[in-house]
Amino acid sequence: MPLALASTSLAVASIPALIGFIPDDSLVLITTLTNDDGTATTGPLTRIDLSQLTAHGEDCVRQFNRQCADLPVLCVTGILVRTLDEDASSGEPLPMRPDVDTVVELLTEHGFTDVDLVHIPAITEGTRWRSYLDTDRTGVLPDPGTTPAAVAAVATGHTIAGSRDHLATRFTPAPGPLRARLQSRISDAVESAAIDVRWHLAAHVRLDRADAAILAAAHGELPTDDAAIVDLAATFATLPFRDALLAVLDYATRLAAESLVLHLWRHSCDPVATRLATVVAMHAYLRGDGAGARIALENADLEQPLALLLSRMLDHAVPPSKVHHVFQNASADARRTLLGKPAVDPA
């Protein structure tokens, strides 16, 4: 989300909107990039669990460097979010200083010379942050819900979860007996979908059913009938149909498609469930929800080419805007192939 960061306080307060949830026990590294016109905007950011930082700090910084080594990084701001004891005063030593010193040293070795790391107990309005590198640098957070990043997130339909765990609860499967009851039927339906790939009329009818289900999901209506769930799960889990259905008209339709496929995932067992998780991850990524995409990939099979590709794009902080047209065009071509229509050569 390319919003200018006017101050460290604003940078810290913007984190929930930038990553999609309110972090705790985390180190968040935010880059500020210089543009050709001299302005500055936020660039790639990384959130690291503090347990991971302590055990694998060098790997964490190396991963961060892969994301932005080739970008015009003006500075790096690190925010360590960790609750202090209730009786800790403002003069209490900042937590995890040896780890922070190591991070600064490693960032410097990778060429990031303008670095500041601050500590904050929690990202809430009125909370004070303090700098590790300059004890005179401190500030108080504004309301995180009123930052430009938060306003932009709400305007585009993004939700900001209370925690990453809360965000991950989206991936709560339906009860085991229900999924077990549908498993054999979904497996049979996948075989039928594979046959439909070879017949243009059958493919047309199947795509129409999926398109109608996405439209219904946009109006808050998800399938409840077992037969519809089985049919749609098989459709979205079959590669040619999956690819053909990735292209959507707008953000709202993409969010609807994501909600629909997540609903189908809840009713499915592996290996179909892992394929559907990849579809959820792709839709989340293309609408700018990196955290949601990563959580979806935790439920996917990273040996699938699309899941592996998406994982690498997330690791390297590839903006969805850079590849959106590629996926849209590939999806449109996949639909034309299924319907027996000639491909469209690029202009």
Tokens found for residue 14: 């913007």
Residue 18's Cα: distance from chain center in Å? 10
Those residues whose C-beta lies under 8 Å from the C-beta of residue 25, and which sit 6 or more positions away, are 49, 50, 51, 81, 82
Give the pTM: 0.77
Q: How far apart are CA 262 and CA 318, in angstroms?
A: 24
**Residue 14 in contact with residue 147, Cβ under 8 Å?**
yes
Comparing C-alpha atoms, which of 16, 11, 39 is closest to residue 26? 16
**Residue 28 in contact with residue 78, Cβ under 8 Å?**
yes
- The reported pLDDT for the residue numbered 64 is 87
| 3-state SS class at 141 | coil
- The reported pLDDT for the residue numbered 88 is 47
- Helix 226-237, helix 251-266: angle, nearest 10: 110
- The reported pLDDT for the residue numbered 6 is 53
- The reported pLDDT for the residue numbered 4 is 38
User: Per-residue DSSP letters for 71-98?
Assistant: S-EEEEEEEEE-PPPTT--TTSPPTTHH
- Helix 226-237, helix 176-196: angle, nearest 10: 60
> pLDDT (tens digit, 0 to 9) for every residue of the chain, 347 residues total?
333 345 889 989 999 988 888 999 999 999 888 888 888 888 878 899 999 999 998 999 988 888 787 889 888 999 999 987 654 445 568 999 999 999 999 999 999 989 999 999 999 999 999 999 888 889 999 999 999 888 887 777 677 888 888 888 889 999 999 999 999 999 999 999 999 999 999 999 999 999 999 999 999 999 999 999 999 999 999 999 999 999 998 888 998 999 999 999 999 999 999 999 999 999 999 988 888 899 999 999 999 999 999 999 988 778 888 899 999 999 999 999 999 987 665 55
